[in-house]
Chain A
């Protein structure tokens, strides 16, 4: 896992990463990623609070890279979070807003601007054998796919917010026609 992260990091950094955007259901992809961490949540005895829109939310993204982003920020929340982890996805006008928040008392989380720096990690994280690259990669991938990402900290809650453009309706319709 660590090697893979470093490899991805190198690829992202030197531009050797190909991005193939297709129409993705961002919500479905989030659900699948959340469930892939089902055992981890169980082991940590944390039940995530999940808020999702009723309808599918489509965006033009590379599904494997979107999965990588989800994995990295969910893993980060699982490693650093305690008591509470909340995940929300909101579709507003033409954007999709993802929030992953976790309760934490770790000192380093209180400086959210720093968390995207490569190899930035708390001592606690070192013990968890993390590379300190997860969020850095998530940021790079988000930006490469035209999204924006920020970290914030308030009232012992550390959060990552990612915003992607929703696929416009004409794209959505074309895809539907091709399928049928």
Chain B
């Protein structure tokens, strides 16, 4: 769940923003002053920060400067100050976006999402186990840094096993996951593929990754 810090001294607006974030399956943290907000930031990291400018004590501008000394977390300033100079100055000192009050909740949400989207790193679709790395995008499997050179079916079988490391698969289930077709009862086919994968692995490592269960099923050896 994404944690969002809401620094806003008006308790009604603060509660309204938090409620919206809750509904969007995010985890809001209210802070009612810049100092309080910075305190939370020392304790945990947030995915995005909503920052009011007119705060008691430390101003929003000062808070923003301190936030920027700490981290690069996206900050969206929410303020009644609609002066173009203020807006430009804030964007130049490190705000990522600026929303003027009164605001529409949908716009706030859209802008938060935009920031989250920017910061979410492109997920590398890789599965690793011990010395084995399976790349779901490239369809390659590396063991101890060497490529295994699996066929498409062998790769699919390995991927299926790795994705559900605790589950014992019947031969039919593996067959269907590997071929995405209807099973015709050819257990031997699966046996052959498993033994091919094993022998390819054996050329590189002694480690066993696939466990045979009772002679009738297979499981990933965690």
Cβ of B91 under 8 Å from chain A? no
**Which residues 21-52 of A have a CB within 8 angstroms of B?**
25, 28, 31-32, 34-35, 38, 47-50, 52
**Which residues 196-222 of B have a CB within 8 angstroms of A?**
213-217
Closest to B187 in A: A54
Q: Which residues of chain A come closer than 8 Å to B216, judged between CB atoms? A: 31, 34, 50, 52
Is the pair A34, B172 in contact by a Cβ cutoff of 8 Å? no
| Tally of contact residues, A, Cβ under 8 A | 16
Bound CA–CA A28/B172 (angstroms):
7
Per DSSP, chain A at the interface is: mixed
Is the pair B185, A34 in contact by a Cβ cutoff of 8 Å? no
**What's the nearest-Cβ distance from chain B to residue A18, in Å?**
27
Cβ of B168 under 8 Å from chain A? yes
Closest to A176 in B: B182
Q: Which residues of chain A come closer than 8 Å to B11, judged between CB atoms? A: none
Is the pair B214, A54 in contact by a Cβ cutoff of 8 Å? no
**What's the nearest-Cβ distance from chain A to residue B186, in Å?**
8
**What's the nearest-Cβ distance from chain B to residue A84, in Å?**
13
Cβ of A55 under 8 Å from chain B? yes
Cβ of A114 under 8 Å from chain B? no
Is the pair A54, B188 in contact by a Cβ cutoff of 8 Å? yes
Is the pair B214, A179 in contact by a Cβ cutoff of 8 Å? no
Q: Which residues of chain B come closer than 8 Å to A47, judged between CB atoms? A: 214
**What's the nearest-Cβ distance from chain A to residue B164, in Å?**
12
The residue in B182, B184, B214, B215 that gathers the most chain A C-beta atoms within 10 A of its C-beta is B214
Closest to A55 in B: B185
Q: Contacts A50-B214, A50-B216 given; indicate if A31 touches B185 (C-beta within 8 A).
A: no
What are 23 inter-chain pairs, A to B, with CB distance below 8 A?
A: A25-B185, A28-B170, A31-B170, A31-B216, A34-B214, A34-B216, A34-B217, A35-B169, A35-B170, A35-B213, A35-B217, A38-B168, A38-B213, A48-B214, A49-B214, A50-B215, A50-B216, A52-B216, A54-B185, A54-B187, A56-B184, A56-B185, A179-B182
Q: Would you list the 6 A-B pairs with minimal beta carbon distance, nearest first?
A: A56-B185, A31-B170, A35-B168, A55-B185, A50-B214, A28-B172
